[in-house]
Structure 1
Amino acid sequence: MKKENIRIVFMGTPEFAVESLKALVENGYNVVAVVTQPDKPVGRHQEKLQPSAVKQYALEHNLPVLQPVKMKDADFIEELRSYKADLQVVVAFRMLPEVVWGMPRLGTFNVHAALLPQYRGAAPINWAVINGETETGVTTFFLDKDIDTGRIILQKPFNVPDTADVEYVYDGLMCLGAETALETINLIASKLPEDNLDSIDFPSVLDEISVPQAYENIELKAAPKIFKETCEINWNQSAKKVYDFVRGLSPYPGTWSILRPVEDNGEKPLVMKVYKTAKTGSPSTGAPGSLVVEKNRLYVNTSDGLLELLDIQLSGKKRMDARSFLNGFKEIEKFRFRQNV
């Protein structure tokens, strides 16, 4: 079927989703409307409203924008239905009710930043890096009643270098996701007649290009939402686990730990964010969380080895490299990181 004859509604919010929307628009697909989150209050007094990255792109390309507060709102459902979409494409958006994902006759597919069934959930990129995966990827799948469980259409792998942080993987999967979204729609279009969509059996066509998720006899890894408390470093783990944890949350939201005086001298605990570390291969020289300064380099003990801190930030201060930090914080060895996580 000709691409301009397939009416598509696109749903997404952050920059990650823009690349996929851009791919559809630039390749001539008929995006009839875009659904995104309501504008977000920003500023010290929350006096300004910031549109999402997807909304900004949509307005620049004269695409109608819908911003429902509630996905089950009757007025929104009526307006969405008025666009008579044949297909809906979802990238980095929120959970949809069946009345929404079941609306188009060609269904609704999602671009998920992981190789399903692994890493179902809100933060698949972070958790893949945190868990030290050497490979992740992108999956397109049809939405159904449960989260991230629908029939898989396409999957594309992505290599994760040991030195990569989550920003590197995010950027890579953003581009790979756009390619996969476009390839998925091309595949769907190739199975449709040239003109009359009413002449085909949609369920059988969609089943032909997708397969159920297979997860028997494998250990599933989840990707739950990241909260502030999720980001606290547990120094009682191995150096490799801490290293992966830091890069899996860098640069945003960033890991953190509490610095406490070794002796109770009345000094207040300090909160330090850790953005980058380096494995040393050296064994621990003290209890987990204790610090070592050597030749203007800062190390911390883990359960099995020393980890070098490279890029850090004290609460209320600028982000800086460890050498610059040590130049202004001469008594760092009188502190240690909290252990009881």
Structure 2
Amino acid sequence: MRIVFMGTPDFAVASLNALVEAGFEIAGVVTAADKPAGRGQKLQESAVKKYAVEKGLKVLQPLKLKDPDFIAELKALNADLQVVVAFRMLPEIVWNMPAKGTINLHASLLPQYRGAAPINHAIINGEAESGVTTFFLKHEIDTGDVIFSEKVAIAADDSAGDLHDHLMETGAGLLVRTVKAIQANDYSEQPQLFSAELKHAPKIFKDFCKIDWNNSVKTIYNLIRGLSPYPTAFAELNEKTIKIFKAGYEDIAPEITPGSYLTDGKTFLKFAASDGFITLLDVQYEGKKRMMIDEFLRGMRL
């Protein structure tokens, strides 16, 4: 069975590697075009492209997925199945091309947390578990019939980065299981059920990342976890931005206004929320490098 793999970031590399190590024939890899990055604006290759080149796989990097030249090149690969992991929305002419269809690996237990940022939103909402799901692509994003899913527990102090890594590895295994089942024609499809109670995972924008100290400590704590290490929750300190990668919290009613802070200038810095304190542990002040709070306080006068 010939497979075309589509993906871009590190999350997708684990799945591609699992398929390669399982012995599947990868007819080609579709990934994002190289982009300028950093101070020198040098072209940077995607994580998937780097892996594919290292393994000697054919790489396609279309700017537009409906481009006739790309469509022709994709057809020429003669794939039986297309596999999508952390890529972009596909036009029907692409996902409907292979005889066995196109499957996607999504980082949530569908139908919960459809959307662009399921890992972040699961943590932000204080979930105790998440998971991964494989499904066939259809017209509406993340709505196709489910093939398999697998649960992953979320620890109380897990960040989005921690959950990302857990789901990346679990997802790679589930994807191999799914492709084997499709190859053997030994699977069933379960339609997703729609309801008003479902939680969604929309793309995260900067305004969403700003901490509102009038919220509860648990709400703020989960926001910090859910946005770490990227795009990162932030607040204002001395009229500058401070990104917060890790924090703790205290359920002690504050006697100061939410958003005010307490510090000994050496070892701790904590902000008042509506019902307690958020203790900063790992931060990055505007114009500075990322550092632990004791190092940060040594270079600041508060």
Q: Please, what TM-score do these two structures have when normalized by structure 1?
A: 0.85
C-alpha distance in structure 2 between counterparts of 1:35 and 1:283, whole Å = 53
Post-superposition offset of 1:150:
0.4
**Equivalent AA in structure 1 for residue 7 of structure 2:** G
- Asked whether 1:68 is paired with 2:53, we answer no
Instruction: Find the counterpart in structure 2 of residue 195 from structure 1.
Output: none
Once the two structures are superposed, residues 1-46 of structure 1 have per-residue CA deviations (whole angstroms, 9 ceiling, x without a partner) of xxxxx11100000010001000111111011000000011123242
- Asked whether 1:90 is paired with 2:84, we answer yes
**Equivalent AA in structure 2 for residue 213 of structure 1:** Q
Moved more, 163-172 or 311-320: 311-320
Instruction: Find the counterpart in structure 2 of residue 14 from structure 1.
Output: 9
Instruction: Report if aligned partners of 2:117, 2:201 keep a CA contact under 8 Å in 1.
Output: yes
C-alpha distance in structure 2 between counterparts of 1:117 and 1:239, whole Å = 29
From 251, 258, 266, the counterpart of 1:281 = 251
Instruction: Find the counterpart in structure 1 of residue 218 from structure 2.
Output: 240
**Within-5 A mapping of 1:291-302:** 291-294=261-264, 296-302=267-273
**Within-5 A mapping of 1:221-260:** 221-260=199-238
Identity %, equivalent residues: 52
Q: Which ranges of 4 or more aligned residues in structure 1 deviate by more than 6 Å? A: none
Post-superposition offset of 1:51:
0.9
Instruction: Find the counterpart in structure 2 of residue 204 from structure 1.
Output: none
Instruction: Find the counterpart in structure 2 of residue 112 from structure 1.
Output: 106
**Equivalent AA in structure 2 for residue 63 of structure 1:** L
Q: Secondary structure at the match of 2:82?
A: strand
Instruction: Find the counterpart in structure 2 of residue 170 from structure 1.
Output: 164
> Residues 326 and 44 from structure 1, CA distance in 2 versus in 1: closer, same or farther, beyond 3 angstroms?
closer
Instruction: Find the counterpart in structure 1 of residue 34 from structure 2.
Output: 39
Instruction: Report if aligned partners of 1:285, 1:306 keep a CA contact under 8 Å in 2.
Output: no
Instruction: Report if aligned partners of 1:287, 1:301 keep a CA contact under 8 Å in 2.
Output: yes
C-alpha distance in structure 1 between counterparts of 2:123 and 2:77, whole Å = 39
Post-superposition offset of 1:224:
1.2
Instruction: Find the counterpart in structure 2 of residue 150 from structure 1.
Output: 144
C-alpha distance in structure 1 between counterparts of 2:185 and 2:268, whole Å = 60
C-alpha distance in structure 2 between counterparts of 1:50 and 1:313, whole Å = 25
Instruction: Find the counterpart in structure 2 of residue 196 from structure 1.
Output: none
Once the two structures are superposed, residues 210-240 of structure 1 have per-residue CA deviations (whole angstroms, 9 ceiling, x without a partner) of 1100233x51211111222221111111000
Count of matched residue pairs: 301
From 278, 287, 291, the counterpart of 1:316 = 287
C-alpha distance in structure 2 between counterparts of 1:28 and 1:324, whole Å = 49
Instruction: Report if aligned partners of 1:112, 1:140 keep a CA contact under 8 Å in 2.
Output: yes
**Equivalent AA in structure 1 for residue 188 of structure 2:** I
- Asked whether 1:27 is paired with 2:22, we answer yes
Post-superposition offset of 1:304:
1.1
- Asked whether 1:214 is paired with 2:193, we answer yes
Q: Secondary structure at the match of 2:135?
A: strand
- Asked whether 1:191 is paired with 2:169, we answer no
Post-superposition offset of 1:131:
0.9
**Equivalent AA in structure 2 for residue 239 of structure 1:** V
Q: Secondary structure at the match of 1:19?
A: helix
Q: Which has the larger radius of gyration?
A: 1
Post-superposition offset of 1:286:
1.4
Q: CA RMSD of the aligned region, Å? A: 1.4
Instruction: Find the counterpart in structure 1 of residue 123 from structure 2.
Output: 129
C-alpha distance in structure 2 between counterparts of 1:326 and 1:59, whole Å = 45
C-alpha distance in structure 2 between counterparts of 1:320 and 1:13, whole Å = 29
Q: Please, what TM-score do these two structures have when normalized by structure 2?
A: 0.96
